[in-house]
């Protein structure tokens, strides 16, 4: 499995192919359509991360020392961005998830979506992923 850093650098390279916003968003929308939809049974109150504009659901799964994430959103661009976050962080070690920041977001020009405004659940979701990793680390000590 590639490291968090390696995957982020891959993504940055992929996005360098795009010249303008239209192409970037077209690609992100494509990724959003690729994201495996989350089973309705995981769309619970405890899994929902509410934003002002869109909703995000996050289902963690801790297996054999690695933390996996299953997510969904009702907005497609957010889905595309969470597809990328899942690609980076899912199936990685707890210590890495807890410590590695998602620097690729800024490098691909999408930092406004991770800003801690109420507008979307993305920043909160990122925070929640980290919190799961930290909590599990504490549990396993």
Partner 1 sequence: MSQKITKQSKLSLESIRSQFPVLERQVHGKDLVYFDNAATTQKPKSVIDALVGYYSGYNANIHRGIHSLAEEATLAYENTRHSLAQFLNASSSDEIILTKGTTESINLVAKTYGEQTVQEGDEILISCLEHHSNIVPWQMLCEKTGAKLKVIDINDQGELDLDSFEKQLSTKTKIVSVTFASNALGTVNPIKDLASKVHAVGAVIVVDGAQSTSHFNLDMQDLDIDFYAFSGHKMYGPTGVGGLYGKRALLEAMPPFMGGGEMIKEVTFEKTTYADLPHKYEAGTPNIADVIALDAAILFIQKIGYENIQLHEEELLNHATTQLMNIDGLTMYGTAKEKVAVASFGIESIHHQDLAILLDTYGIAVRTGHHCTQPLMNRLGILGTTRASFAVYNTIEEIDTFIAGLNKAVTMLR
d(CA 85, CA 33): 15
Q: Does residue 140 bind partner 1 (CB under 8 A)?
A: no
**Do 114 and 102 meet the contact criterion of CB atoms below 8 Å apart?**
yes
Which tokens sit at 33?
A: 């359509």
- Minimum separation from the CB atom of position 110 to partner 1 (A): 10
User: Residue 76, interface with partner 1 (CB under 8 A)?
Assistant: yes
52 is catalytic: yes
Q: Which of 1, 17, 52, 138 is catalytic?
A: 52
- Phi and psi dihedrals of 47, rounded to 5? -95, -10
> What's the order of all strands across the beta sheet hosting 92-93?
48-50, 55-63, 66-73, 92-93
All residues at 6 or more sequence positions from 95 whose CB lies less than 8 Å from its CB, including other chains: 133, 137
Q: Which stretch binds partner 1 (CB under 8 A): 20-28, 58-66, 93-101, 126-134?
A: 20-28
Among 47, 54, 71, 128, binds partner 1 (CB under 8 A): 54
- Per rule CB under 8 A, is residue 56 in the interface with partner 1? no
Task: Determine the 3-state secondary structure of 69 from DSSP.
Answer: strand
For partner 1, give the closer residue by CB, 6 or 74. Answer: 74
Helix (H) or strand (E) holding 76: helix 76-89
Q: Which is nearer to partner 1, 55 or 130 (CB)?
A: 55
Residue 78 binding partner 1, by CB under 8 A: yes
Give contact residues for partner 1 (rule: CB under 8 A): 21-22, 25-26, 29, 52-55, 74-78, 113, 119-120
């Amino acid at each position: 499995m590639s490291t968090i850093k390696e995957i982020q650098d891959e993504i940055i390279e992929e996005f360098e192919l795009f010249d303008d916003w239209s192409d970037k968003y077209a690609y992100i929308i494509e990724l959003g359509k690729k994201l495996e939809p989350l089973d309705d049974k995981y769309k619970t109150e405890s899994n929902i991360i509410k934003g002002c504009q869109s909703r995000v659901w996050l289902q963690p799964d801790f297996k054999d020392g690695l933390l996996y994430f299953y997510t969904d959103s009702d907005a497609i661009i957010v889905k595309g961005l969470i597809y990328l976050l899942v690609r980076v962080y899912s199936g990685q070690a707890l210590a890495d998830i807890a410590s590695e920041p998602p620097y690729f977001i800024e490098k691909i020009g999408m930092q406004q979506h991770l800003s801690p405004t109420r507008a979307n659940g993305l920043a909160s979701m990122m925070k929640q992923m980290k919190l799961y990793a930290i909590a599990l680390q504490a549990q396993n000590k």
